[in-house]
Amino acid sequence: MATPASKVFSLRYLQGLCLAFAAGLPSHAAAADVTIKRDNYGVPHIYANNVRSLFYGYGYAVAEDRLYQMEMVKRSAQGTVAEVLGADHVAVDRVSRADLDPASLRRQLATLRPADRDIFEGYAAGFNARIREVLARRQALMPKEFIDAGFEPTYWTAYDVASVWVGLILNRFFSGNMEMANLNLLSSLKAAKGDEPGTRIYRQLRWTDDPTAPTIDANVALAMPPQSATAQAGSIPVNYLREVSPPAALDYQAVALARLGPAAAAGMPTASNAWVVAPRKSADGNTVLYNGPQQGWFSPSIIYSVGLHGAGFDVTGSTPAGLPAIFFGTNGKIAWGSTVGGLDTNDLYQEQLDPDDQHRYRYQGQWRNMALREETLRVKDGADIALQIHATVHGEVQSWDVAKHTAYTLKRSWRGHEVETLLGWIHVSRAGNWKQFLAQAQRVAASITWFYADKSGNIGYAGLGRLPRRPATQQIQFPANGDGSMEWRGSLPFSANPKQLNPAQGYLVSWNNKTMPGLTADGADYSYVDRVNELGAQLAAQPSLSKDAIWNIDRRAATADLNHRYFGAYLRQAVAGLPADDRVRQAAQLVADWDGQLVDDGQGAYRNSAAVAIFHAWLPLMLQELLQPDLPKDVYAKYAATGYLPALSPLSAKPGAGAKQLWYALQQGRGGAPFAYDFLHGRDADQLIRATLGQALTTLAARQGPDQRSWRVPVVPMQFAAVSAIGVLWGAAAGAHVVAPYRNRGSVSVLVTLGRDGVSMCSAAAPGQSAFINAEGTPDQHYADQLPLFETFSCKEDHLTPSQVDAHLERVIRPSR
């Protein structure tokens, strides 16, 4: 006898089946000309003579490799995780539903030209073909995760394909903002220190521009686009805003945590690196592009690798979450990659609410009713939840501050352009030169930095995103006034976006550092203290670099102590007057002479452990002496953080916020470094360094004994997690992998070499291409075969031509019709 739950599931299963046919399940003709060839790492290369068939094969291959992961990706994007995994996921589903506008997305899909519509419909049809095979042979083909969780895969439509892009990628990687955090910080500092001192401390902690911060092309002085006309923090009072109440600030942070996960909710998303080398800087005269996008370390990987060949496409590369766009790769003419962008495309608005009705807001002198969308959130083993999603003219409500009669809405310049943005990324793979590359870049409305290289020896980058034309009265670091006085005046032209072709220095380098001089944004903390220096120093040190040397830049950067390079000279200077046998002088010398590498000594500790131990003990003591007297407890807790990650952290390491403040205090404004507030208060920096270094030595001796040679710092491990950034299980829990020591590397590492003699590419996307685990718990042979490549800083050769694929062929698949 069917239970109520099974009846609901059966009904939804039939609905999904109907939708799948409505999306256009393949006919005999649709699959007849599709061939999938998998290479020796399981990477599929799809061959077809029309767009629909090509993406049919792509969808089929993704479903074969990642069926459970993609089911959970889709549910995460659309807010239906709780339906199959239970009440623990209600908070995530609420945010996902609120951020996704199904009607807008469907309108965008409806206006596509046939060839572009074929991409989405073909992908869905191929995906569904594999689902039908799995349902027909459950025992052999059903992934174990479905069996364990007690539900089955659902069919896909073109809308589902697009919703993954919007719900999982855009709404999470491209929706970050710091306006609420900034407002809360300013309020906290003013309450604790008084208006004038609190404002000065705020301006020191949240500076708008550090002219000493490294840019992608350090030798090119690009102008800040006209958005710089907006008011800078501290230049005018924020008297148009009401203060945020502490409970509302916490509520907003909880929403951000549900949307972005801990890796991004703690600040703006800042992960991914890239460097591009021109032929004159390359030892063999080739153009070389390296990309290490840091989208998290997961098992299965967030990255999917594929080759698409036919119907105007001839591309090999990788992409997050099986998207129908290749984010990192080559088409044999050009290569491209990307890092998280720094342009400000999102604004938070503070809406004034009617005290008698919190669903009415003040706009252009009148009270307006908020738009209301009602949905039902289904919960496994629980009652349905009625959702009410409210929105103003600026966007959906993110948080309510009932005590202050305000609400906060998020406006994104790319809303309504989500599909167009994805199409720009899809079709850049067909570009053959810089002009064609920029033509597709112009379509991308979300903030991202693209990198370019070609066979003719050209290198370049472009900072993408639809830049709002903001009013001069709007302070970019804080929420805008929602009353209609701070509306965008359209968008800036693409010519205002930063871009550069063939820089004089012969290379470009990014680790989410400043795109151009003068760049400001609500969440920017661009500083001279920047991890990109671990990359740039290696590039600048050599007149030319071999292919291996360009690849190995990642090795040294991934294991670098990201604070060390800035303070060795200050430590040496502080002890210069001490006797040679003084323990403080010897310790400072030991730290200053250390190469700053956090490398395993083979016995579970870091090599040069005494230097590591001393530096890691000294820095927090120095920050405590510098910052604690001036900062409220909660603010100090953030700025006392050194940036050293705990075991199994999902974050990409970067210099600590406190390290930047220490650097600025030592600089005392030299070179234009931010200096709105002096945390030293006239104290002698050398004396403070000596005192805290002595404290560190005393502490270490008490913990580990007096002999410095025995001091050890255990290596910190990292994890390829089975849960996504927002806490959704998308693979078998037993499939998680722990690697030690921590390596600050990309989710995939890609190196493309382009020359007149040909193009080559090597990559590694750990743990592996496949996520399939059968009913008995046996994983596919390609489940984790790229993990050793990650651990050893190696890569697999990617096969770009038909002959190369055939030479490394593992099997041929002709998808079912």
The binding site comprises 179, 344, 347
HEC sequence for 308-370: EEECCEEEEEEEECCCCCCCEEECCCEEEEEEECCCCCEEEEEEEEECCEEEEEEECCEEEEC
Beta bridge partners of 500: 461
Binding residues for Ca(2+): 179, 344, 347
E-strand ranges in 345-442 read: 346-354, 357-363, 366-369, 371-377, 385-392, 395-401, 406-412
Rounded to whole angstroms, the Cα distance separating 455 from 278 reads 10
Return the ∠ at Cα 315 (arms to 312 and 316), rounded to 5°.
Answer: 160
Helix (H, G, I), strand (E, B) or coil at 551: helix
CA distances (Å), origin 36, targets 45, 58, 67, 125: 6, 8, 17, 15
Backbone φ, ψ for residue 336 (5° rounding): -145, 155
Query: Phi and psi dihedrals of 55, rounded to 5?
Result: -80, -20
Tokens 């100090």 map to which residue?
A: 636
Contact status, residue 615 vs residue 591, Cβ threshold 8 Å: yes
Sheet with 809-813, edge to edge strand ranges: 499-501, 459-464, 448-454, 334-340, 328-330, 313-320, 303-310, 44-47, 35-39, 809-813
Q: Is 429 in the active site? A: no
H/E run at residue 754: strand 749-755
Q: Which SS3 state, helix, strand or coil, does residue 426 take?
A: helix
State the first-to-last Cα distance of the chain, in angstroms, to the nearest integer.
34
**CA Rg, the chain, in Å?**
27
CA distance 408 to 350: 5
Residues 6+ apart with CB under 8 A from 648: 717, 718, 719, 721, 738
**Two structure tokens written together for 634:** 């909660």
Q: Are 608 and 596 in contact (CB under 8 A)?
A: no
3-state secondary structure of 410: strand
**Which of 475, 469, 461, 551 shows the shortest CA–CA distance to 512?**
461
Residue 579 half-sphere exposure toward CB, CA atoms < 13 A = 3
CA neighbor of 635 nearest in space, from 305, 120, 202 = 202
Residue pair 634/188 in contact by the 8 Å Cβ criterion: yes
Q: How far apart are CA 128 and CA 418, in angstroms?
A: 24
Three-state SS at 508: strand
Question: Which 8-state DSSP code applies to residue 714?
Answer: B
Strands 346-354 and 480-481: parallel
Active-site position among 163, 272, 429, 770? 272
Q: Name the DSSP letter for residue 624.
A: H
Question: Would you say 131 and 70 are in contact if contact means Cβ atoms under 8 Å apart?
Answer: no
Q: What is the DSSP string of 274-302?
A: EEEE-GGGBTTS-EEEEEE--S--BSS-S
362: β partners: 367
Q: How far apart are CA 811 and CA 39, in angstroms?
A: 7
Sign of the alpha-carbon torsion through 380, 382, 386, 388 = negative
Catalytic residues: 272
